[in-house]
Amino acid sequence: MDSLDQSHDENLTDVTSLWHRYLAHKNIDLRNQLAEHYLPLVKLVAGRLAISLPAHVDRDDLLSSGFFGLLDAIDRYDMERKNKFETYAGVRIRGAMLDYLRSKDWIPVAVRQKIRRYEQAVYELETRLGHTATDEELAEELGLTIGELQKLESQVSVATIIPLDDYLRTDTPASQEDGPSEQVEKSELRSILAAAIERLPEKEKKVVALYYYEELTLKEISMILHLSEARISQLHTKAVFRLRGYLSRMKANLV
């Protein structure tokens, strides 16, 4: 065993020991040591959420809310369930950050109106066409030039900060708070979304796969696909709205 492997194993042993001591005594100092160990997870989640955040959202406040989500995860974690803590905590950290964003009502009214207009146009156009709309078709539907459409997509990208994240991660176990019916519903939704992803244009499909399954950042994806970060963000926005539209059509057909 080389020194790196030995160091990794020792670190895992230390963390496991720390967990057992904390769960036995519920000591605040031990909890804080655990929180310090997992602090990079808060920064990772914040970094992934920040791809679409407007400049006026305070990143420090986002990190602070995520830290409280981490503390909540440590308090609620049940080692007996055998769920990986990082996965469980990631969901709670992200949830705390989204709660913070919702409480701030951070999307301006004018942008909300553009989001509704764009989402409705995608839904109606693709329902009518029966296939994914091209930029040209969507621009015509909205009465815009291609340049104006791209500017609009840049503005509405803030809506993808609360996308379909929790359902697109097929390796994420059901939440510890989910009941049997909720677990079945999430499983069915994942199946529906898997079919929807297959219908996406090739570049959008790649962005979804790399962002949600490989958990790469937009910068990393831009390097892999040899496209600008702005273009990757645009493809991500398009994919999320197409998937939302597909879900809306599926829901309408079931009613």
pLDDT of residue 69: 93
pLDDT at 44 over 70: yes
Helix (H, G, I), strand (E, B) or coil at 246: helix
Average pLDDT over residues 225-251: 83
pLDDT at 9 over 80: no
**Which part of the chain is CATH 1.10.1740.10?**
3-104
Burial bucket for residue 93 (CB in 10 Å: 0-12, 13-18, 19+): buried
- Provide the CATH topology of domain 3-104: Rna Polymerase Sigma Factor; Chain: A (1.10.1740)
pLDDT at 191 over 90: no
Burial bucket for residue 3 (CB in 10 Å: 0-12, 13-18, 19+): exposed
Average pLDDT over residues 215-238: 88
Q: Which CATH number applies to 109-254: 3.40.50.720, 1.10.10.10, 1.20.200.10, 3.10.20.600?
A: 1.10.10.10
Q: Residues 67-86: pLDDT tens digits?
A: 999 999 999 988 777 778 99
In whole angstroms, give the CA distance from residue 168 to residue 208.
9
**Which part of the chain is CATH 1.10.10.10?**
109-254
pLDDT of residue 240: 85
pLDDT of residue 46: 84
pLDDT at 169 over 60: no
